[in-house]
């Protein structure tokens, strides 16, 4: 009896894990990521990609080049400057004209005045 219950529990857990794993891509469209000198984010519901430089410790900026991978679409470059430059909010761009589920690569570069250099923060991949 105990062996049968354990087997049923293992099968149930496996099915639940597989269902969760398969549903993840839809949940992964919206995100926020810390990129060292600020954050980048994408809101799938609003089709908006945003960058925000941290408003601490001197001048900072975050630059993002959006590159459509799976099909043609908008490919803007946005730069957000922090409050040292007189701008304390985020800078956003719309991807509303992109085809649904277009695969994008966001190439990220940041700058911090105290460091005095730009840093490549790599890329983030997402679907619009």
Domain spans of the chain? 30-127
Looking at domain 30-127, its CATH architecture is: Sandwich (2.60)
Structural tokens at position 67: 């590159």
Instruction: Give start and end residues of each alpha helix (H) in the chain.
Output: 2-27
Q: What is the pLDDT of residue 88?
A: 84
* DSSP symbol at 99: P
- Report the alpha-carbon distance of residue 76 to residue 49 in Å, rounded: 10
Q: What is the pLDDT of residue 19?
A: 38
* DSSP symbol at 76: -
Whole-prediction pTM value? 0.76
How does pLDDT run across 32-79, given as a tens digit for each residue? 999 999 999 999 999 999 999 999 889 999 999 999 999 988 999 999
What is the pLDDT of the chain when averaged over all its residues? 83
**Can you list the pairs that 121-126 forms with residues at least 24 positions away whose Cβ atoms lie under 8 Å?**
121/35, 121/36, 124/31, 124/33, 124/40, 125/69, 126/28, 126/29, 126/31, 126/42
Q: What number of CA atoms fall less than 13 Å from residue 81's CA on the CB side? A: 7
* pLDDT over 80 (residue 23): no
């Amino acid at each position: 009896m105990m062996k049968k219950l354990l087997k049923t529990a293992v099968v149930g857990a496996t099915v639940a894990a597989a269902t969760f794993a398969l549903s993840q891509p839809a949940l992964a469209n919206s995100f926020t990521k810390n990129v060292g000198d600020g954050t980048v984010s994408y809101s799938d519901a609003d089709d908006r990609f945003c960058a925000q430089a941290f408003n601490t410790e001197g001048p900072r900026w975050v630059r993002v080049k959006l590159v459509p991978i799976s099909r043609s679409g908008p490919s803007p470059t946005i730069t957000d400057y922090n409050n040292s430059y007189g701008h304390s909010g985020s800078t956003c761009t719309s991807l509303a004209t992109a085809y649904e589920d277009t695969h994008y690569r966001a190439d990220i570069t940041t700058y911090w005045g105290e460091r005095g250099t730009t840093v490549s923060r790599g890329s983030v991949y997402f679907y619009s």
